[in-house]
Structure 1
């Protein structure tokens, strides 16, 4: 296993994409240990890793998000959020967080949210007198909300890997997302007082009804997804297809901003993004198989238990391990790699699988905004043109907020389980 880890680390240092780093390390392991029969079955293991009907939800939800982006929905949401927030000191920072929360129900991915919201909000905040590093950091912190509310791609993959109800996972992430959103708003308002941030321009009264009418149909998308699944009207896979069709209809007929060229570009972007996601899942599945050969998951579980048999100590240690893993790996790949280990440790923790899923996903998403290699940090730093070091420094208090919510998810089951329990009655 040492050879595998060494080659994987070398590939990452050289800048090889994560999917190919996993694949090259797996091939090197099989060559080194003369596992020729397993080498022949390498493609079969890759295909088996993605041969799951529920994974069809991923391309459809990605397509829905891309169609919404192509319909220029981001600006509509930002203006609607500005109308809701009104004129308060530091209002544009609050608009940033509120818009991120609204956009979360459309994108399903933190990186997409950081790019879409950041391209609109960061220049606007800088023009209004905010520091570029602070605007970028706030956008990055808000972007992880997309991983907690439907249609979260990470929650879908966790559900596929563990057999947990995707509908329950979608519901379970909503309250933690609102808690993060509320705490970020509180931090933005506090900082506005300390640094005397400006008040935004009011939205003209005559525009308000039009803004609401344009934004509400898009904001209904997560309601349709969860409501349709919970009511039994359609399965998660069918819900994804309905979401894509809904995005196409409102973008083309209601907003009338989807031209044939934009639709074609949305399909192209969906194909390339889906290929990247599935390649990561396929390669990570092969790595998980190698971990099984080496009996690594059971060994790690035994080592954790040897430290303590107290469930809370194990939860703390597990969160620390996942935080470190999230620093270096893309969340979907980290999730596939970690699940064999998590499956061994999970029975010892006494947690509900839905609560555990929200905890794991939120943990790995925090890695996207954690220096020095958080992907969302790179995105917002490029948009704001602020040095990565300054953005990393500015985001530290917001990471503290996310870690607090992570501890709350682990310690307070009702935070993630209340909505699923209410709707399952």
Structure 2
């Protein structure tokens, strides 16, 4: 297995995409171990990895997010957030965080959120006198709110891999997302007082009603998704299709900003993103096959038990490993890769599977904003045209806030399980 890990890291270092690195490492493992005959089963393993009806939700939710973004929803959300915040010192940083929270119900992916919100908010904050690295850092930290609330692609994939209720997972992520949003807001406002950040412009009174009306569709989308699934009106897959129809209706009839070119572009981007996600899942299925051959999941579980049999110690160790993994792997690939191991470890932890899912996803998302290789850091650095190392330093306090929320998710079941219990399906 050491050979597999070394070859995988080597392929990543020389710039080969994660999906192909996973597949090439599996092939290298079989060649060195004289098990080339097993390669015959690789195509079947790849197809089996993505042959799941619920995975249809991923392209539909990606498409719905693209359509809502093409319909100029991002700008509407930002303006509505400005109206909510009002004229407070450092208000534009608070607008950034609140806009990220609102956009979370549309995108479902941290990278999409970092790109969409960053392209609007980072230039605006720079023009207003904020340090470029701080503007980029706030955007990156806010981007991990997306994968915690519906329609989170990471929570969908976790549900598919473990058989956990996707509706429960969607509800379970809401309180942690609000807690993280509140933590980032408090930090932004304290920093604003300390560094004398500027006051934002006031939204004219005659625009407030129209701004609220235009922002309502974005706020309703997650309600429609979770409410429809929870009430039994439609399945998660059907909910994703409903989200696409809803996005088209909003863009064509309410905003009237969608045209044929934007719709085609949204479909094209959804197709390319889906192909990338499914390729990662398929290739990671080959890795899971290798792990099964080596019986790695059970060995890791046994080694962890040798260290300690106390559940809270095992949870801390697992969180540390997942945080490190999130530094180097895209979350969806990491989920497929580690779930065979986590399924062996899970019974030892004494926590609910829904709570466990939110903990795992939040771990991997924190990795996306953690130096030196967090993907969202690269995105916001490019948008803000700011050196990565400066953004990495600016985001450290926000990573600390995220780690506090992670600890609460891991050790306070109420935070994740209260909403699923309140709205049984």
| Shorter-chain TM-score tier | over 0.9
SS of the aligned residue for 1:199 comes to coil
Shift of 1:33: 2.0
1:89 aligns to what?
A: 89
Matches within 5 A, 1:230-309: 230-309=230-309
Shift of 1:35: 2.0
CA distance in 1, matches of 2:218, 2:93: 22
SS of the aligned residue for 1:303 comes to helix
SS of the aligned residue for 2:368 comes to helix
Give the CA RMSD over aligned residues: 0.7
Shift of 1:5: 1.3
1:409 matched to 2:406? The reply is: no
Matches within 5 A, 1:174-189: 174-189=174-189
Deviation string, structure 1 residues 133-162 (Cα, Å, up to 9, x no partner): 000000000000001000000000000000
Shift of 1:37: 3.1
1:225 aligns to what?
A: 225
SS of the aligned residue for 2:281 comes to helix
Shift of 1:294: 0.4
Matches within 5 A, 1:33-44: 33-44=33-44
Number of residues of Structure 1 aligned to a counterpart in Structure 2: 425
SS of the aligned residue for 2:144 comes to helix
Q: Which runs of 5+ in 1 are unaligned?
A: none
1:380 aligns to what?
A: 380
8 Å CA contact 2:64–2:106 kept in 1: the answer is: yes
Matches within 5 A, 1:19-418: 19-418=19-418
CA distance in 2, matches of 1:174, 1:218: 16
SS of the aligned residue for 1:87 comes to coil
8 Å CA contact 2:103–2:218 kept in 1: the answer is: no
Deviation string, structure 1 residues 10-35 (Cα, Å, up to 9, x no partner): 10000100000001001111222222
CA distance in 2, matches of 1:294, 1:113: 38
Shift of 1:95: 0.3
CA distance in 1, matches of 2:31, 2:244: 43
1:3 aligns to what?
A: 3
TM-score, structure 1 normalization: 0.99
SS of the aligned residue for 2:372 comes to coil
SS of the aligned residue for 1:41 comes to helix
8 Å CA contact 2:102–2:218 kept in 1: the answer is: no
CA distance in 2, matches of 1:241, 1:36: 42
Shift of 1:219: 1.6
SS of the aligned residue for 1:414 comes to helix
Shift of 1:314: 0.2
